[in-house]
Chains A and B, each alone.
Chain A
């Protein structure tokens, strides 16, 4: 059934793609052109910018945004080209490049405040995953969009997402070293193998959920790949029902299965009176092997929840 759905969806998108690639881009209405002319006061025009910044212009041309602004603008704002983001440049051009008044600059150390820089981006990029940027932790910490992204210079300019560093990992590392380097630990998600990265779980542009996670809560986030633990189960384990991170450390751990602490100690954080400390059977010799491996889970195997009628203690 799911395969049929995939094929149907694929066909649907191919048809849409074919349809829209045949249709000419909608030209801005005449009224919009009038508006644009009015707006254009103080704007020097892309050709003026290109005259002095030809190298930057060539780089911008190679990006998706450049293609849209410079070759097929859809709106009066996009028609302004470089000045869509940088603001009116006539004063700057007339001063021989010395006066930046009225302009937004993105280079390090430039006087334009971060909110003004970001406003330039959010004129268009408030869509999709960026709906919750305002007030998000990165917004509050004063991060500019250009802290992580490049628009027309830098190593990642022609790469996906135009990151300032070559990878998502390297982009997040300067501020989140502990989390990023935890991927080198014994138990880890496949980040260092390149199968996942920080943005697999986090939306760095802001979410309605805490910690910038992409789903409603930590549980729903984990169920994206581990739906076998979603339940509801006949016998439920309350900490599992509330938050996977009660027991797991998602960024990397010294212990198997990304556990926060060794299994033998982890269970005892809550279960204070069960079994002997060395798993001494009543009247028998010590069984230290019960303390390692998955410890308590050696026996209570279905610890995430059991659907067995006799699964009360998560044995079956």
Chain B
């Protein structure tokens, strides 16, 4: 905490230093060789109806509304020749959501930057006892590079993330009327994550080569949590990952050919304490795994109209835990179960692609991809064939048409862990959707029209269809389409408008079975259908009311989603989010201006959904249950902001 305060003081000092030097401002000459640019916005904001924290709900999911004193700056201090620079950006200091960025360097020689940002993840606001159930995230980043020669780079980056707070969670059991009940609790969170990267690169016209090392550590400072006697929940274990990457490219002297290659090897390890559900320590986990990825690609242009590409890529994930003693004990020496979870897989992808430009008005694209995934211990093999074609048409200077189509077939093996009816003691009736047979079609179309220089239209359409052939159960199919239109129109130098609308439909069918065979509806079990639809509308309008003096900018975004579960029990879920903002800016002179803004945001969600969640729950449990994630109150917020702005 002390460090955070200290760094904030440094940031503020950095902000103040250029201001004190500035004196009279205005495209400032700081001494003979320096000039100051950018802007400072100082002002305030207030919510007109001052809702309580819990009533702001979902609208403050990631940051609080900017209220009270507000400051936003973006300052640049440059040498007269433009080579040395120093930049400072700051947003909403002191608020949750504050951001600071400090950069400095010499163009082409070195660059260094420090960044600090904060945000929250607000999970729920409907708990009667806790106003805000959230995690606060603090993120620090320092990065930079040095180019002692134009062709040589050394670079480094370190990112630290700290998460603290409470997260809604739950645990099975705790109700009197039998199985399948659960109780909610707030899980304490104290995570630290640090990612450090360092590397070097050499760039020559004919070849480029880069090596990098990445170290990532995750520390959970709370190892576990006793929810109730006999229910000790393990929190995510501390773990480490190290990656070494080498990548390079060679430009060959014929047909503008370029060969690129990349190899990365990573080592994952986890040795956190393993607890039992009673809270007893068993020992260090001692688990590890490795990853490696290889990519080799070649691109060639035998002549200007034709581009050809070939690539081969592998990704290997290897569990190294099979002889782990704790693992053997946890799985009670049951090899099939252990193999089910601790298998390794190897993914290979081969792609051949081409692009042929018939002339300036027509271009064709074609590609073929073959992917194969092999899993150890008979955990399934999948192969995937995907041919795709595309066309780009530019028939006139005012029309662009881009379309592509892909048809993918996936063949899997062993994607039923057990056949239906083949019940045994393992009780594993699982269909692996992600490895099962699948036919997939996708189509995309974009049409852009520019009838006049000041008007543009665009239309987009896309569709997809996933059919899990040979699947009697699980996900059977997943189909959808979306269509939209946009228009941008600059009516004059004083008025600019843009409008956009999109609609999307998705339909999913899942056929399930039940544990109690006697209750199965028909031979095939119940069919669960879900229909989702999304409507999105955006609009922007900018008006210059008095040239060079008064400007009005407005924008609105509206999103509505509707999910129909075709169930007599689960209601239709509707969610709506609206954002409207309008800002009036008056320029007193070249440097000074005033800005007044109004922001309206609204969120609504089907209440029956939450009521359903609370139904059938013992009264004393109600207040705990509604701590669960994703439940927010409907919210309407009116925010007014004013700023005095200075532009250098």
Contacts and interface: CB of A to CB of B under 8 A. Distances in A.
Contact of B502 (A17, A178, A302): A178
Interface in A31-66: 61-62, 64, 66
Interface in A152-190: 174-175, 177-178, 181, 184-187, 190
A292 to B, nearest CB: 5
Contact of A6 (B110, B142, B260, B329): B142
B245 to A, nearest CB: 8
Nearest to B162: A2
Given A135-B309, A230-B218, A142 B355 contact: yes
Given A193-B97, A231-B237, A315 B326 contact: no
Most chain A beta-carbon contacts within 10 A, residue among B307, B392, B462: B307
Interface string A207-247: 01110000011001001110111111111111101110010
B119 A208 contact: no
Contacts of A146: none
B216 A223 contact: yes
A142 B180 contact: no
B158 A21 contact: no
Interface in B425-460: 429-434, 446, 448, 458, 460
A223 B353 CA distance: 31
A265 B514 contact: no
B272 A307 contact: yes
Most chain B beta-carbon contacts within 10 A, residue among A12, A13, A273, A312: A273
A16 B110 contact: yes
A262 B565 contact: yes
Given A228-B236, A272-B431, A308-B232, A262 B530 contact: yes
B92 to A, nearest CB: 11
Interface residues of B, number: 193
Contacts of B304: 113, 115
Interface stretch (B313-321, B544-552, B580-588, B591-599): B313-321
Contacts of B319: 232
B384 to A, nearest CB: 12
Interface string A66-80: 111001101100000
B474 A64 contact: no
B469 interface: no
A216 B295 CA distance: 10
Contacts of B644: none
Most chain A beta-carbon contacts within 10 A, residue among B62, B114, B201, B484: B62
A103 B274 CA distance: 68
A316 interface: yes
B387 interface: no
A232 B289 contact: yes
A102 interface: no
B242 interface: no
A269 B477 CA distance: 10
Nearest to B113: A13
Nearest to B472: A272
A284 B516 CA distance: 14
Contact of B169 (A228, A238, A301, A306): A301
Interface stretch (B13-21, B605-613, B633-641): B605-613
B160 A6 contact: yes
Interface stretch (A82-90, A92-100, A274-282): A274-282
A26 interface: yes
A173 B514 CA distance: 44
Most chain B beta-carbon contacts within 10 A, residue among A5, A139, A193, A238: A238
B9 interface: no
A277 B513 CA distance: 8
Nearest to A178: B482
B341 A238 contact: yes
Given A195-B117, A289-B613, A307 B237 contact: yes
B602 interface: no
B514 A293 contact: no
A174 B628 contact: no
B45 to A, nearest CB: 15
Contacts of A225: 161, 193
B170 A271 contact: no
Interface in B533-573: 534, 536, 538, 557-559, 561, 563, 565, 569-570, 573
A100 to B, nearest CB: 16
A237 B341 CA distance: 6
Contacts of A315: 171-172, 277
Contacts of A131: 208, 210, 247-249, 260
B389 interface: no
Interface in B221-270: 224, 231-234, 236-237, 239, 241, 243, 247-249, 256, 258, 260, 262, 264, 266, 268-270
B355 A140 contact: yes
A290 interface: yes
A265 B510 contact: yes
B500 interface: yes
B83 A13 contact: no
A61 B287 CA distance: 56
A243 B516 contact: no
Interface stretch (B46-54, B148-156, B406-414): B148-156
B342 interface: yes
A55 to B, nearest CB: 17
B365 interface: yes
B203 interface: yes
Contact of A289 (B243, B538, B615): B615
Contacts of B83: 67-68, 71-72
B234 A109 contact: no
A306 B234 contact: yes
B195 A224 contact: yes
Given A177-B460, A227-B216, A257-B630, A298 B170 contact: yes
Given A231-B239, A301-B169, A309 B63 contact: no
B391 to A, nearest CB: 11
A304 B239 CA distance: 14
A262 B515 contact: no
A20 B561 contact: no
A299 to B, nearest CB: 3
B297 A135 contact: yes
Nearest to B340: A238
Contact of A127 (B153, B343, B519): B153
Nearest to B85: A64
B534 A254 contact: yes
15 contacts: A13-B110, A16-B112, A26-B149, A75-B150, A175-B446, A177-B502, A195-B63, A216-B291, A223-B241, A227-B216, A231-B237, A236-B341, A272-B420, A289-B625, A311-B234
Given A71-B82, A72-B108, A233-B270, 10 more contacts: A174-B458, A184-B559, A195-B97, A234-B287, A254-B563, A254-B575, A278-B569, A281-B181, A282-B178, A316-B233
10 closest A-B pairs by beta carbon, nearest first, are: A67-B82, A256-B630, A273-B429, A299-B172, A228-B236, A184-B559, A135-B299, A227-B218, A208-B295, A281-B178
